Structure 1
């Protein structure tokens, strides 16, 4: 089974569970983490969530990239070079729709995102926050288009030839299966969040559906304890807003919370 379900009650048991998963992996492997507020949410990038066909997705991406490049120039340091990949990574971390799904190398960053905001939907009282785990090296090596390279394949970078079919402006036939990539740390948010990414190709289904055909595991760990207790525990170990958003707005929110301010 490619998708493995686990449940824990608190942060201590979450860390223990993740350490146990890590010990099961091959030497040299490591885990990435993604936190979501609802166990019913799928692993799919924002740009793909409205069910458009791949051609329409790439047309929309091209327009968004152009508009972001045009409007963001004044916000970047003078002379800073920006290619399409670098813009995509920045767009993702500032909330624009992309083909990227962000993950973190830090378990507690994922826990923060799983707990930071309560879900607002029809079944909000019938779901659990979740931390997803994946071994990105194992995933890439098991992906059909990369498996032929065997143990030489690691997490890809934007300089690797193997990523060419995933480039926004590629002239080659696009691959279907999402792959794990390291992105440019071109914003303070990405640095703070130890951000990493999966990038989608020419098929628009969720990662867990790809996992049926890719012999690499995904782990979905439900946090079943009371949300307010989990949030307080995370704050008790010093993991507040500015750990993931090193910005004045979040500093103000964090200081207000720690001083007991309530609206």
Structure 2
């Protein structure tokens, strides 16, 4: 079961949201703790009383906050969609300077990544396979992940997670890109410029679009807008 991740710009490193800032700023602001506790306190009524700190982390990622999770999928078509998503939104694709487009799809062997981390090579379930909770390991610092990054699979609680076949890498070392230490378990496949039109046609034929990836009313509205609304 390989993991896939699409980048619309192949030069982007494999860093989680929290890793895309200066290390000094991260340490000075203590931004991870601030986001976690504010999300937990202000959104507690929406999270449910039984939510533990892993639930909070996944909810934060799901709703767009920067975390130490990096999104992956187990389906190539979903990764390809995210690699091409900015270009699919442009109706005048033939007019775009093709030479400037360098989307790519990353492919990760999650079992080998976890083997490199000296863990059980199975894709980890954070609720049962880690010594401590997210709060203990990363907010309080009383437990340790024991690895730079680990491939994990959470319960698929939301329709979006199920539709996208969501999986993650969980990063302890936030500021070192995954590609710099993952060795042979990671590959990047750049899409040649002359393949982009065919790749977009493949997504259309496969029925992969905004609503299939985001199966909610917002996703449906964006899909219908792209199909039928040409003046906005």
Q: TM-score, normalised by structure 1?
A: 0.73
State the alpha-carbon separation in 1 of the partners of residues 218 and 35 from structure 2.
26
State the alpha-carbon separation in 1 of the partners of residues 49 and 111 from structure 2.
31
Partner of 2:223: 254
State the alpha-carbon separation in 1 of the partners of residues 76 and 143 from structure 2.
36
- CA contact 1:164–1:170 (8 Å) conserved in 2: no
Partner of 1:20: none
Asked if 1:93 is matched to 2:62, the reply is yes
The answer to which structure has the higher helix fraction is 2
State the alpha-carbon separation in 2 of the partners of residues 103 and 112 from structure 1.
12
Partner of 1:157: 125
Equivalent residue of 1:175, what SS? Answer: coil
Equivalent residue of 2:127, what SS? Answer: coil
State the alpha-carbon separation in 1 of the partners of residues 59 and 82 from structure 2.
18
Q: 1:257 to 1:70 in 2, by over 3 A?
A: same
Equivalent residue of 2:188, what SS? Answer: strand
Partner of 1:22: none
Moved more, 219-228 or 99-108: 219-228
State the alpha-carbon separation in 1 of the partners of residues 206 and 73 from structure 2.
19
Partner of 2:92: none
Shift of 1:124: 9.2
State the alpha-carbon separation in 2 of the partners of residues 193 and 32 from structure 1.
12
Partner of 2:179: 208
Shift of 1:139: 1.1
Asked if 1:75 is matched to 2:49, the reply is no
Q: Which runs of 5+ in 2 are unaligned?
A: 89-96
2:108 aligns with one of 106, 110, 134: 134
Shift of 1:201: 0.8
Aligned pairs, number:
220
Asked if 1:63 is matched to 2:34, the reply is yes
Q: 1:68 to 1:57 in 2, by over 3 A?
A: farther
Q: TM-score, normalised by structure 2?
A: 0.82
Asked if 1:192 is matched to 2:163, the reply is yes
Asked if 1:221 is matched to 2:194, the reply is no
- CA contact 1:90–1:186 (8 Å) conserved in 2: no
State the alpha-carbon separation in 1 of the partners of residues 65 and 130 from structure 2.
26
Asked if 1:49 is matched to 2:20, the reply is yes
- CA contact 1:54–1:202 (8 Å) conserved in 2: no
Q: Which runs of 5+ in 1 are unaligned?
A: 1-29, 147-151
- RMSD, matched Cα: 2.8
State the alpha-carbon separation in 2 of the partners of residues 259 and 203 from structure 1.
42
State the alpha-carbon separation in 2 of the partners of residues 62 and 80 from structure 1.
20
State the structure with bigger RCO (CA 8 A, min sep 6), 1 or 2.
1
Partner of 2:203: 234
Deviation track 1:55-93 (CA, whole Å, cap 9, x = no partner) reads 7289321110111122323434xx452111111112112
